[in-house]
Structures are given as C-alpha cells and as structure tokens.
Amino acid sequence: MAKIDVPQREDSAQDDTRATDLLHYIFSLPNLEAIRGNPAKVIEAIDDYSDNYKFLMNVGINKGGHVVSLIHQQKPSTMVEVGAFVGYSAIMFGSAVRECGGKQYFSLEINPVFAAVSSLLVELAGLGDFVQFLIAPCNVSLAKLVHDDMLENGQINLLFIDHWQKRYVPDLWVAEQLGLLKPGVSTIVADNVVLPGAPDYVEWVTASTAEKREKLKTAETLSTLKADSLADHIKKTGYGAGKVNLDNVLGNPNLIYETECHRYPLLNAEDALAVTKVVGLEK
C-alpha cells in the first residue's frame, strides 16, 4: 500500500472531540426544531454546553456583545474572522452583519474538523448562505481572497483576529501588505490580548509609524520577500506551496492606527479586546 503523510498539527485531537461532542449535544436537543434558523438560540445552546459541560474557547457573550455593538455602529459590508472553532463568533457576528445590510462574511479556519462543525452550526442558525468558510492557514486564505478577487472593493471593513496569539502579528502583517486594510474604512478587533495575551500584537498596533519602521529594521533580516505590492505579486504568481513565503512577510509600518483596549472580567481573571481603527497612511 502506498505510504501517505498525515500533516503534523499544533493543536490536540481532544479539541476535535470537544467540538464533535458539541454537535452530538446540539443535534439531540429536544427543542432542535425551535432553534433552527434562530442565531440567538443556537448561541444560547452552545453557551449552555460550554457553561455546564466542557469549556469552549468561544469569544463569549460579553466580548462578543462588544463586537456586535461595533457592527451595529459601523455596518461593515465585508467582515473577515480568523479562527472559527465551532462557529460561535461566525453565528453571532455573521447574523449581526447580515442584519445591518452587510454583504460578506468570511471565516478563516485552519482545522477542517472545526470548519465542518462550524459549517453545520452556521447552517442550523440559518446563515449557511451568508457565512463562507475557507479552510487553510489564514495567511494562505487571505492570499486566496486577493488572488481570486473575492472581497467587495478589495477591502476588509471589519477584521476579527482570534486564532493563536503567536500568529497575530505575522498574519496581520500579511493583511497589511496585501492592502486589505484601508484608512477610514477598516477596523481590526483582536481577542485575548491579555489572556492568554498578545503583547507583541498590542505593541505593533499602538506604535507610531516611526517606531514601526525601526522595529522592521531588525525584523528585515528574517524576511525572504521584499514586497512592493504583495497583492500584485500574488495575483501574477499565485499563492500555493512553493510560491510566496507568506510566513515571512513584513508589515506595512506606514499604516496609522488608533487602538483602544477594552477590558472584560472573566471568572478569576481578566481579558481584553484590542479595537484598532485604521485612520491614515503615511506617504
């Protein structure tokens, strides 16, 4: 029999079980038909499971509510989230974006089991024709969005970053260099910046353009790509294996950000959302 290589993974197979157990729980609920097509009720059912059975790493009702208020204020046409897990934020935010007249919601998820679970729950919530899942490391999915011209006006109005914290900066840098973040248009929200914590991310989104240029001088030695326009390069050459090394793209220091951290109490600790508005671009 031919040998096959199963990809190495950073998370654990137990995480898959937590997610698939949730599916068994939800699809055996006696009131399943009453929650079908109702995003708020599907969210409630996921919260019940997480509060009373196995904890799930969802954004939760408090921090999630903050993002929903932002959606109501800003009415984003296109929202992209990084990290779907079981689809909680995709349901909560996808429903709010659709309600506010938004056109697109993309959920980028690396783990195909999580994407499958999310997709079933999103479908159950009645958002199956609105939320689109891309299954790959998010830097590759961001490149695909550009390469395949999938984003309305080539821009992201609201970007929700909620994957592994050590990837926040390198993956934000890819979004910056692809030109997806536009002054006066884009807002970035990052979860978990205090717990587990993303200090290097907070440092980047609160730094001045001069400080960011300085920081990139030392980062530059790590770069394999000097990108004038990463978007043009990807459109010409593609983004798959053996093309551009998307793990080593440097950020765009010229984007001017205004960031506020909003703290939220947890059971025995505290976390915060970092809300960053893209307000300018230095020439």
Q: Is 111 in the site for ligand SAM (CB under 6 A)?
A: yes
Characterize the bridge pairing of strands 104-109 and 131-135.
parallel
The H or E element containing residue 3 is none
| Nearest-angstrom CA–CA distance, 116 and 135 | 9
End-to-end CA distance of the chain: 59
Residue closer to ligand SAM, measured from CB, 111 or 157: 111
Cβ distance 146 to 180 under 8 Å? yes
Q: How far is the CB of 60 from ligand SAM (least distance, A)?
A: 7
Number of residues lying near ligand SAM (CB under 6 A): 22
When the beta carbons of 229 and 245 are compared against ligand SAM, the nearer one is: 245
Backbone angle region of 60, left / alpha / beta, with phi > 0 → left and psi within -120 to 50 → alpha: left
SS3 153: helix
Q: Amino acid identity, residue 117?
A: V
Q: How far is the CB of 108 from ligand SAM (least distance, A)?
A: 5
Considering only residues 227 to 266 of the shown chain, the ones binding ligand SAM according to CB under 6 A are: none
Task: CB nearer to ligand SAM: give 77 or 107.
Answer: 107
* Residue the block writes with tokens 């730094």: 207
Judging by beta carbons within 10 Å of its beta carbon (0-12, 13-18, 19+), is residue 57 exposed, middle or buried?
middle
Of 160-168, 207-215, 233-241, 246-254, which part binds ligand SAM (CB under 6 A)? 160-168
Q: Rule CB under 6 A: which of 52-91 touch ligand SAM? A: 57-59, 81-85, 88-89
Kindly give the pairing relationship between strand 158-161 and strand 187-190. parallel
| Residue 160 beta carbon to ligand SAM: minimum distance, rounded to whole angstroms | 7
Instruction: Pick the closer one to ligand SAM by CB: 84 or 202.
Output: 84
Binding of ligand SAM by 18 (CB under 6 A): no
108 vs 124, beta carbon nearer ligand SAM: 108
CA distance 109 to 85: 7
Taking CB under 6 A as the criterion, the residue among 100, 123, 150, 164 binding ligand SAM is 164
Name which position in 98, 147, 163, 212 contacts ligand SAM (CB under 6 A). Answer: 163
Q: Which is nearer to ligand SAM, 167 or 277 (CB)?
A: 167
Residue 180 in the binding site for ligand SAM (CB under 6 A): no
271, 197 Cβ separation under 8 angstroms: no
- Contacts with ligand SAM by CB under 6 A lie at 11, 57-59, 81-85, 88-89, 108-111, 114, 137-138, 162-164, 167
